[in-house]
C-alpha cells in the first residue's frame, strides 16, 4: 500500500484526530485456528471511534435482548454518520445502532443498567474479547470530542425530547465520547473481533461471548450499516460484515474464517478509511472470503 499516493483525508472535526500521520497503514488477520498475519503499523495504537459501537451493541443486547429494537432500528440509513434529518421524520428513533444517534441510544441502555460503571464495563468487555488488559481510553481524544461534539449533543438532546434516552444527556454523551476514544492497535482489534468470526465463541478460551444466533445478527447489521452511506459500496467491493471508525480503522469479519483489522487514517467522502477498504477488497478477493461467493 506504501506506493499508493491517494489516501483520503484525515478526520479533522475532532481536533485531536487531525494530528494523525496519514501515511500510517496497518493490517492484521487472525484466523479462527489462531494464526496471525501482520503487516505495516500493526502495533501502533489508533482511535477506534465508531468501531466501539460493535462492542456496545453486543453489550446492550446482552442486557436487554431484543427489547433494544424498540429504541433503535436495524435498517441501513443511507445518510451520513451524524445526520440529524432522519431523526425528525422517525420521531427520535435512530435507524440503526451504528449511526451516531443509534450508538448514543445504545450507550444510554448500558448506562441505565450500570450507572456508575458503564464506561468501565465497556472497557473491560473490550479487554476481555481481545484477551488484552493493556487496552486503554485515550483521554485527550475523549476531551477533544467532548469540547467540540456539538452535533452529537444536538442528536442526544433531540432523542431526549422524544424520551428515547433515559439518562441525563451529558452523562450519556460522556460515556459515548469515551468509548469512541478507546485506543487499540490492529492486532488488538482483530483479536477483539474473533468471537464474531467464530459463532460467538472466543477461540482462545472456548468461552461463549454471545450465542451463534446473536453473532450472526451482529454480523448482518455490520454488513448493512457498518459504513454509513458507504455500506453498499463496502458490501459490493469487500463482501464482508465490517465496521469503520473516523480514526481510519475497519474491523471486518470473515464468518467461520478470520477476524481482520486494518488502519489507514485518511477517509473517503463517506467518512470511511480510503485505503483500508481497498486493502480489504484485495485481501478478500485473493482469499475468496466474500460471503457472496469467491
Ligand atoms: N466519535 C465519533 C463521532 O461521534 C464517531 C464517528 C465515527 O467513527 O464514524 O462523531
Q: What is the pLDDT of residues 135-167, one digit of tens each?
A: 999 999 999 999 999 999 999 999 999 999 999
Q: What is the pLDDT of residue 1?
A: 60
Cβ–Cβ under 8 Å, residues 57 and 221: yes
Q: What is the pLDDT of residue 80?
A: 79
Q: What is the pLDDT of residue 6?
A: 85
With CA atoms as reference, report the closest residue to 18 among 187, 247, 213.
247
Q: Is the per-residue pLDDT at 2 higher than 70?
A: no
Q: Please choose from 49, 175, 230 the residue to mutate so as to test ligand 1's pocket, defined by most ligand atoms within 8 A of CB.
A: 49
Decide the pairing of beta strands 249-254 and 258-263.
antiparallel
Ligand 1 center to residue 21 CA distance, Å?
Answer: 19
46 lines ligand 1 (CB under 6 A): no
The CA-based angle 253-138-10, given to 5 degrees, is 65
Average pLDDT over residues 31-50: 97
107 lines ligand 1 (CB under 6 A): no
The catalytically annotated residue of 10, 209, 246, 253 is: 246
Architecture per CATH, domain 17-287, reads as 3-Layer(aba) Sandwich (3.40)
Q: Which atom of ligand 1 is nearest to the CA of 81?
A: 9
Is 246 annotated in the active site? yes
DSSP 31: E
The catalytically annotated residue of 10, 24, 72, 228 is: 228
- Distance from C-alpha of 114 to C-alpha of 42, rounded to nearest angstrom: 33
Average pLDDT over residues 20-42: 97
- Distance from C-alpha of 222 to C-alpha of 195, rounded to nearest angstrom: 14
Q: Which atom of ligand 1 is nearest to the CA of 177?
A: 1
More confident residue, 113 or 137: 137
- Distance from C-alpha of 126 to C-alpha of 130, rounded to nearest angstrom: 6
At 100, the pLDDT band (50, 70, 90 cuts) reads: very high
Decide the pairing of beta strands 182-184 and 136-137.
antiparallel
Q: What is the pLDDT of residue 3?
A: 62
Q: What is the pLDDT of residue 204?
A: 85
The C-alpha cell at 200 is 460467538
Average pLDDT over residues 22-51: 97
Ligand 1 center to residue 35 CA distance, Å?
Answer: 31
The catalytically annotated residue of 47, 176, 253, 274 is: 176
The pair phi, psi for residue 30, each rounded to 5°, is -115, 115
The catalytically annotated residue of 31, 42, 52, 53 is: 53
Domain ranges of the chain: 17-287
Average pLDDT over residues 4-32: 92
With CA atoms as reference, report the closest residue to 118 among 126, 110, 108.
110
At 274, the pLDDT band (50, 70, 90 cuts) reads: very high
Q: What is the pLDDT of residues 184-238, one digit of tens each?
A: 999 999 999 999 999 999 988 899 999 999 999 999 999 999 999 999 999 999 9
Q: What is the pLDDT of residue 140?
A: 97
Which residues, in sequence order, are bridge partners of residue 115? Answer: none
Average pLDDT over residues 41-58: 98
Ligand 1 center to residue 145 CA distance, Å?
Answer: 9
Is 53 annotated in the active site? yes
With CA atoms as reference, report the closest residue to 47 among 88, 18, 83.
18
Q: Is the per-residue pLDDT at 5 higher than 90?
A: no
Q: Is the per-residue pLDDT at 49 higher than 60?
A: yes
Cβ–Cβ under 8 Å, residues 98 and 53: yes
Average predicted confidence (pLDDT) for the chain? 95
Is 176 annotated in the active site? yes
82 lines ligand 1 (CB under 6 A): yes
Ligand 1 center to residue 103 CA distance, Å?
Answer: 9
Please give the C-alpha separations between residue 49 and each of 96, 246, 257, 265, 290, in angstroms, as whole numbers. Answer: 17, 6, 25, 12, 25
Average pLDDT over residues 280-290: 97
Amino acid at each position: 500500500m506504501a506506493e499508493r499516493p491517494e489516501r483520503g483525508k484525515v478526520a479533522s472535526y475532532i481536533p485531536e484526530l487531525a494530528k494523525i500521520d496519514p501515511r500510517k497503514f496497518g493490517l492484521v488477520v487472525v484466523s479462527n485456528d489462531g494464526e496471525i498475519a501482520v503487516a505495516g503499523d500493526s502495533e501502533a495504537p489508533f482511535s477506534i471511534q465508531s468501531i466501539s459501537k460493535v462492542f456496545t451493541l453486543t453489550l446492550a443486547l446482552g442486557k436487554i435482548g431484543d427489547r433494544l429494537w424498540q429504541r433503535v432500528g436495524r435498517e441501513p440509513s443511507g445518510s451520513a454518520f451524524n445526520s440529524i434529518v432522519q431523526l425528525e421524520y422517525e420521531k427520535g428513533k435512530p435507524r440503526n445502532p451504528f449511526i451516531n444517534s443509534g450508538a448514543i441510544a445504545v450507550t444510554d441502555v448500558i448506562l441505565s443498567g450500570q450507572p456508575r460503571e458503564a464506561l468501565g464495563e465497556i472497557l473491560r468487555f473490550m479487554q476481555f474479547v481481545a484477551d488484552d488488559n493493556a487496552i486503554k481510553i485515550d483521554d485527550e481524544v475523549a476531551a477533544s470530542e467532548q469540547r467540540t461534539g456539538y452535533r452529537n449533543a444536538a442528536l442526544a438532546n433531540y432523542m431526549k425530547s422524544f424520551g428515547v434516552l433515559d439518562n441525563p444527556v451529558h452523562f450519556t454523551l460522556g460515556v459515548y465520547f469515551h468509548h469512541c476514544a478507546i485506543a487499540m492497535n490492529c492486532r488488538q482489534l482483530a483479536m477483539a473481533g474473533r468471537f464474531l468470526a467464530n459463532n460467538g465463541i472466543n477461540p482462545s478460551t472456548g468461552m461463549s461471548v454471545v450465542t451463534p444466533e446473536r453473532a450472526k445478527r451482529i454480523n448482518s447489521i455490520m454488513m448493512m450499516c457498518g459504513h454509513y452511506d458507504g455500506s453498499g459500496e463496502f458490501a459490493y467491493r469487500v463482501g464482508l460484515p465490517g465496521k469503520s471508525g473516523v480514526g481510519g480503522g475497519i474491523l471486518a469479519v470473515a464468518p467461520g474464517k478470520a477476524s481482520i483489522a486494518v488502519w489507514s487514517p485518511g477517509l473517503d467522502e463517506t467518512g470511511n478509511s480510503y485505503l483500508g477498504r481497498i486493502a480489504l477488497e484485495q485481501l478478500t478477493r485473493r482469499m475468496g472470503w466474500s460471503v457472496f461467493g469467491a
